[in-house]
């Protein structure tokens, strides 16, 4: 079973920041938070991951609370192409045999 | 960056026939590959895990004789859907773990339609 909970859907205006929340209250100390997204009829695309510090890359920022029980993915300037299902996943980074357990994710709709 | 090529992207086959889906890591070696299935409006569900040179490990409820997985090299894994039926119509996605890092890359998926 997925260890995360996310809202099923969100809307965001084009050009505005999209803030996608994720709860992972049972996260273990050695589990990372990963974010992937899936655009319709494509494979999941890696966005970002982190352990406890906030992370930023060219796609997004990841804010993890101090107690690590929740996190927020931020797309700073959402575009129509960011419309997708966003998955928040927790897993141990160096567990070779562990797959990614996908929950239902959040369906983000970026509106013009 | 790491690229996983999945082929074909779409396939339509007749009921009772077999279909092979290929998953290739183009610029890295993949010791472990995962095969997922995704039905419409649902999330990805793991079918099996394959390690190079060994038998695949199947998730509960997935028939190993129906979904044949071969991971003969560090860059190629194949999933063969044998004796396909309309209920096997789905989106099949592979994922490859990089040999020398903790990174994972997903393929672009294969939409299988059995008629």
Q: What is the pLDDT of residue A105?
A: 95
Cis peptide before B8 (omega within 30 of 0): yes
Q: Which phi and psi angles does B87 have, rounded to 5°?
A: -70, -10
Partner-chain residue, chosen from A41, A45, A103, that has the shortest CB–CB distance to B43: A103
Give residue A2's pLDDT.
57
Residue A7 forms contact with B (CB below 8 Å): no
pLDDT score, position A97: 60
Cα pseudo-dihedral A110, A32, B33, B100, rounded to 10: 120
Name the residue among B91, B97, B109 with its Cβ closest to that of A96.
B97
For residue A43, the chain B residues in CB contact (below 8 A) are 4, 6, 93, 95, 106-109
Q: Which residues of A touch B10 (CB under 8 A)?
A: none
Q: Does B48 touch chain A if contact means CB atoms closer than 8 Å?
A: no
Q: Which residues pair with A18 in a beta bridge?
A: A75
The alpha-carbon radius of gyration of chain B (Å, integer) is 13
Q: By three-state DSSP, how is residue A80 classified?
A: helix
What pLDDT is stored for residue B80 in this prediction? 97
Residues of chain B with Cβ-Cβ distance to A99 below 8 Å are: 34, 46, 49, 95
Between vectors from CA A44 to CA A38 and to CA A47, what angle results, nearest 5°?
90
pLDDT at B97: 82
Strands A9-13 and A106-111: parallel
CB-CB under 8 Å, B104 with A46: yes
Q: Give the residue ranges of chain A where pLDDT is below 70.
A: 1-2, 93-98
Rounded Cα distance between A31 and B28, Å, is 25
Over its length of 115 residues, how does chain B's per-residue pLDDT go in tens digits? 688 999 999 999 999 999 999 999 998 888 889 999 999 989 999 999 998 888 899 999 999 999 999 988 889 999 999 999 999 999 999 999 877 666 788 999 999 999 9
Q: Does A17 touch chain B (CB under 8 A)?
A: no
């Amino acid at each position: 079973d997925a260890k995360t909970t996310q809202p099923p859907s969100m809307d965001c205006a084009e050009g505005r920041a999209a803030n996608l929340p994720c709860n992972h209250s049972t996260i273990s100390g050695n589990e990372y938070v990963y974010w992937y997204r899936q655009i319709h009829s494509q494979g999941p695309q890696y966005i970002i991951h982190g352990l406890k510090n906030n992370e930023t890359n060219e796609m997004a920022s990841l804010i993890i609370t101090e107690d690590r029980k929740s996190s927020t993915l931020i797309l700073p300037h959402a575009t129509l192409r960011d419309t997708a299902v966003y998955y928040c996943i927790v897993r141990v980074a160096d567990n070779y045999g562990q797959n990614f357990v996908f929950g239902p994710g959040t369906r983000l709709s970026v509106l013009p | 960056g790491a690229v996983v090529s999945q082929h074909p992207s779409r396939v339509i086959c007749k009921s009772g026939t077999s279909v092979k889906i290929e998953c290739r890591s183009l610029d890295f070696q993949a010791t472990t590959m995962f095969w997922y299935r995704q039905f419409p409006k649902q999330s990805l569900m793991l079918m099996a895990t394959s390690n190079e040179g060994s038998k695949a490990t199947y998730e509960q409820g997935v028939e190993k004789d129906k979904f044949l997985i071969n991971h003969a090299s560090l860059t190629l894994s194949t999933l063969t859907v044998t004796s396909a039926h309309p209920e096997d119509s789905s989106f099949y996605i592979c994922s490859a773990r990089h040999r020398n890092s903790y990174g994972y890359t997903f393929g672009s998926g294969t939409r299988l339609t059995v008629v």
